[in-house]
Amino acid sequence: MALRQLTMAPRSRAQLAEKLAARDVPDEVASEVLDRFEDVGLVDDARYAEGFVNARQGQRGRRALALELRRKGVDDETAREAVDAVDDASEEAAARRLVQRKLAATRGLDRVVRQRRLAGALARRGFPPGLVMSVVREELAADEVDQVDEDELVDGSAHVPGTVDDTNDTDDGDRAGGTLPGAADGD
């Protein structure tokens, strides 16, 4: 039964112990089986924690990763070591990706509402408050600049060199008058 659990997905020792207890396997037998699994390398909480963090670091902050590992029965020290492998730059990049993904859904809302929703989404995923606010502010500012640029292009209020509306007064007004430069006057 424990082997079947391991073939489906990696598990911590505590998760396997919980499954064995749910099947009414005596504690002594479960302990012997799990000890043997550890001896042969089938159960390794450090390797499990490392794989768990690697798989989820793009979606969660370090705090949330550590909390999830503890819920899965990984001891504090092992969880801390696995989470410490995530550097600040990786955590910031993950936060930026999440905000960028959610920005489109908040367009059209008031800036304060957008900021609150984006910050809440990051906070619920365990990103630290200082990082949350700086990333949200920077990404909102960049999105607003992009929106202004797009709106100007759509509305026609932006001047794009080389377009039909591009008038050049150096031709003595010929373009403004409707004649083509170089056309003969009476021909």
Q: Give the model confidence (pLDDT) of 65-87 as tens digits.
A: 999 999 999 999 999 999 999 99
What 3-state class would DSSP assign to 159?
Answer: coil
User: What is the C-alpha separation between 24 and 29, in angstroms, rounded?
Assistant: 10
What is the longest distance spanned by two Cα atoms in the chain?
Answer: 110
Nearest Cα to Cα of residue 16 among 83, 33, 71:
33
Binned at pLDDT 50, 70 and 90, residue 15 comes out as confident
User: Which amino acid, residue 12?
Assistant: S
pLDDT-wise least confident of 41-50, 103-112, 123-132, 175-184: 175-184
**pLDDT tens column, 119-143:** 999 999 999 999 999 999 999 999 8
pLDDT of 118 above 60 = yes
User: What is the C-alpha separation between 22 and 19, in angstroms, rounded?
Assistant: 5
Sorted by sequence, the CB contacts under 8 Å of residue 48 that are 6+ apart come out as: 10, 11, 12, 74
Between vectors from CA 14 to CA 12 and to CA 16, what angle results, nearest 5°?
Answer: 75
User: What is the C-alpha separation between 174 and 176, in angstroms, rounded?
Assistant: 5
Binned at pLDDT 50, 70 and 90, residue 187 comes out as very low
